[in-house]
Copies of this chain bind each other. A is one copy, B any other.
Amino acid sequence: MKANSPNPASTPDEHIHGRGLRMTEQRRAVYDALMGKRDHPTAVEVFMRVKASRPTISLATVYNCLETLTECGLVKYVHHDREPSRYCPNLQEHAHFFCEGCGGVMDVPLRSKRRPQDIWDLPESVSISRHEVSFRGLCPKCATKAGGKSKATRPI
């Protein structure tokens, strides 16, 4: 319900319809695969999940659906280094933490009332359409397990 939102849709279907598109079986299956397990799968992982219930779906369709869902603002994609794209159903502004130990990806929320401009010295007059932040290191579990009290791993 943001005042400047160009699209007041609230359900996934409304988002899709708002763009003149249809909520097809495939798109719903892909969306559900992402919402059911709120993690950060790659396209191939989504493909495998969806394939379990819809064996005829093709990888190209999964890519298409993920792109459509992203364009409609229902999911976000996340990148880290040269790794394959991952997809994330969390629409809140957040960063991602990639654990070198267990390979997991976790969401890192923005502290309340904070904005990126608080720490980054951006020129006044830029207009920002996208902001992606990724951390890499050891998650709490792996940090304790691996390093004992060590504070930092060698930067890669």
Contacts and interface: CB of A to CB of B under 8 A. Distances in A.
A140 B123 contact: yes
B133 A137 contact: no
B110 A6 contact: no
A15 to B, nearest CB: 14
A125 B110 contact: no
A10 interface: no
| Copies of this chain in its oligomeric complex | 2
B127 A138 contact: yes
Interface of A: 4, 6, 73, 77, 79-82, 85, 95, 97, 100, 108-111, 114-116, 118-140, 143-144, 147, 150-156
A127 B137 contact: yes
Contact of A135 (B81, B119, B122, B144): B122
B121 A109 contact: yes
Given A73-B155, A131-B135, 7 more contacts: A81-B132, A126-B135, A127-B152, A129-B138, A130-B155, A131-B133, A133-B133
